Structure 1
Amino acid sequence: MRRWATVVAAALVASVLPVGVAQAAPPSPVTKLRQQFGEHVGLRISDLGRVYKDGKPVVTIWRRGKVEFGAAGVYATDTVGRTELGRGAVKELENQLGQRLGSTRVICFPNEAYLSGPGYETWLPEGKTWLGLIGPANIKQTAALPQIVNIFEPATLGTLLSHAVVRKRGSYGTYLQGAVTLRTLYRVSPSLRDRLAGPPKGRSGRIPVGFRLWLDRSNLARRLSTTWKQPLPGTPRRYTTTVVHTRYTGWGSPVTLTPPPPEDTADAGRVGADFPRPTALPIG
């Protein structure tokens, strides 16, 4: 009798407890992304991008760094990257010179950017190590990362979700796969519009950008891989294939990015205008 009473009591307690509290579904990926936006928080990113022609890599870009959010999205980035033509060309040259050529570092804010590394030393006065750019027109190109798809834009992330044709859930989170045209990306992505001179037309607009996206159990992006082909100018039957892999780690970490010291910075407007910009993978 006592055992039966215990079972009944347990059932009654269970009937009045909130159902599914411990297993509540996480917010949608777009909502979860918006929840990350706030001052002095961000994450770490790393990119590996390659352009292939006739099956061989002709350009490789490595880049890693930090992203700082503001209330409306990305506020600043601080990245270090290297670009290589072919495979092993940079390392071969370093071996010949007996020294490392170093990497390019770029710090970007809404209306200013700072560049340092190989290719900029000749523009810098003695004692200066940073080249400063002022004005949004310059920043639009300088801030471009190798990844063509900017998942920090809610509309862009939502477009990927709506174009996913494969969706698999597991203990790790969710895997999505699909494709979206360059024209559609241009329409929803402000950062892509900044990178292109105008809307992609004709065949360019129909270029499919294939994507594979991994979300963690809280619906934050962990990995993104994109692939797209472009016809070579003058040879429409030959293509280059661009593949970019990006990892996102440390969501919600404290991040406060600052410009380099003024005493180490030279104003690009005073040292010349034809300076090299960080290499970006070809688009469109």
Structure 2
Amino acid sequence: MRRMIATLTGAAAAALIVPALVAAAPASARTAPDDPVSALKSQFTAHRGVKLDEQGKLIGEGKTERVILSRRAGVLEFGRKGVVASDLTSTFSLPSGDKELAEEFKDLFSPTRVITVKGFSYTDGKFYGDAMPEGKKWVRARAGLASPGNPAQQLVNPLEPATLKAVLARTAAKRPGGTWDGARTVVHSGTITLGELYKVSPTVRALLGAKPSATSAVLPVKWQLYIGSDRLVRRAVSSWTQSLRGLTSIDLTYLNDSRYSGWGVKSAIEAPPADQVAEVGELDFEGGNEDPFARLMTTEN
């Protein structure tokens, strides 16, 4: 277990990175900006934020289809240029049918809370299992844009102005989207390539770790954005498929459905108490190079 945990210390989601890819006034009560990008930027105020409820699905399509379900919920806090802090808890549902495998991965996929603030992330120690020093509850590391252990995060991040602009420029269709967070919405949908997202999105660059190969760059990412009359995004849905055939025997499909609510909510996220925090260098585990997500997808029932 400790050997597998080590593979994730410096990366947010090993399954996503393979060699080939390397209370303020309610928003609805304000004067609505003319476009979604301007509306988003108008929310960038210190100690205000938005609530996130995100559901992800990682589907391994091989001899035996395996599915990992994930959910991530909490608060994202804004500064003058975008998200500057977050407090998010992730939960997982593993492939069934293998009790031994479930026991081996129980710490890795237990509910995990990650607080990110002032350039550092603090991860609940259960994620690291018995590698944690005695008496410590959190592990501190330089903050990234991806959440540890979550392989199916939102690839189309609508909280990044450049990403939102680039995606909406590729809108192929619009239709009524129903009511979300008390706002009537219009669904904008289309397709954008992984390479195009890599160019504009810090989140995608953090998830992939390196520029996509020529083959990977043209992979299509399907997306839907539910936008309210105040031009704020209430829901973002994306999906894409990555073929690992040649490296493993599977294709991986990533599905994500993110809901954004409570725009303008008050937020004052702080780091955990210093005496409960361990540094990455204090963790006691042996290194290894096994990808636990790939193993979960390829192990036979």
2:232 — aligned with what?
220
Q: For 1:273 and 1:39, locate their aligned partners in 2 and report how far apart those are by CA, in whole Å.
A: 39
Q: For 1:236 and 1:121, locate their aligned partners in 2 and report how far apart those are by CA, in whole Å.
A: 27
Contact kept in structure 2, 1:116 and 1:131, CA below 8 Å:
yes
Query: Secondary structure of 1:212's partner?
Result: strand
1:65 — aligned with what?
74
Q: Is 1:46 aligned to 2:53, yes or no?
A: yes
Unaligned runs of 5+ in 1: 1-23
Q: For 1:280 and 1:183, locate their aligned partners in 2 and report how far apart those are by CA, in whole Å.
A: 26
Contact kept in structure 1, 2:44 and 2:80, CA below 8 Å:
yes
Query: Secondary structure of 2:167's partner?
Result: helix
1:144-183 CA-to-partner distances (Å, cap 9, x unmatched) read 7711111111010011111110023578122111010000
Q: Which amino acid aligns with 1:120?
A: Y
1:232 — aligned with what?
244
Q: Which amino acid aligns with 2:122?
A: Y
Identity of aligned residues (%): 31
Residues 168 and 232 (structure 1 numbering): CA distance in 2 closer, same or farther, change over 3 Å?
Answer: same
Contact kept in structure 1, 2:193 and 2:218, CA below 8 Å:
yes
1:196 — aligned with what?
208
Q: Is 1:108 aligned to 2:120, yes or no?
A: no
Over aligned residue pairs, what C-alpha RMSD do you find?
3.3
Q: For 1:155 and 1:85, locate their aligned partners in 2 and report how far apart those are by CA, in whole Å.
A: 34
| 1:118-137 alignment, distance < 5 Å | 118-133=126-141, 135=142
Query: Secondary structure of 1:119's partner?
Result: helix
Q: Which amino acid aligns with 1:205?
A: A
Contact kept in structure 2, 1:178 and 1:211, CA below 8 Å:
yes
Q: Which amino acid aligns with 1:103?
A: P
With 247-256 and 161-170 compared, the bigger mean Cα shift is at: 161-170
Q: For 1:61 and 1:271, locate their aligned partners in 2 and report how far apart those are by CA, in whole Å.
A: 25
TM-score by length of 2: 0.72
Contact kept in structure 2, 1:130 and 1:266, CA below 8 Å:
yes
2:16 — aligned with what?
none
Equivalenced residue count is 249
1:16-70 CA-to-partner distances (Å, cap 9, x unmatched) read xxxxxxxx87421000000000100001101111122338442221111110000
1:165 — aligned with what?
172
1:89 Cα deviation after fit: 6.9
Unaligned runs of 5+ in 2: 1-30, 179-183, 295-301
Contact kept in structure 2, 1:174 and 1:219, CA below 8 Å:
no
Greater C-alpha Rg: 1
Query: Secondary structure of 1:230's partner?
Result: strand
Query: Secondary structure of 1:42's partner?
Result: strand
Q: Which amino acid aligns with 2:84?
A: Y
Residues 27 and 233 (structure 1 numbering): CA distance in 2 closer, same or farther, change over 3 Å?
Answer: same
2:25 — aligned with what?
none
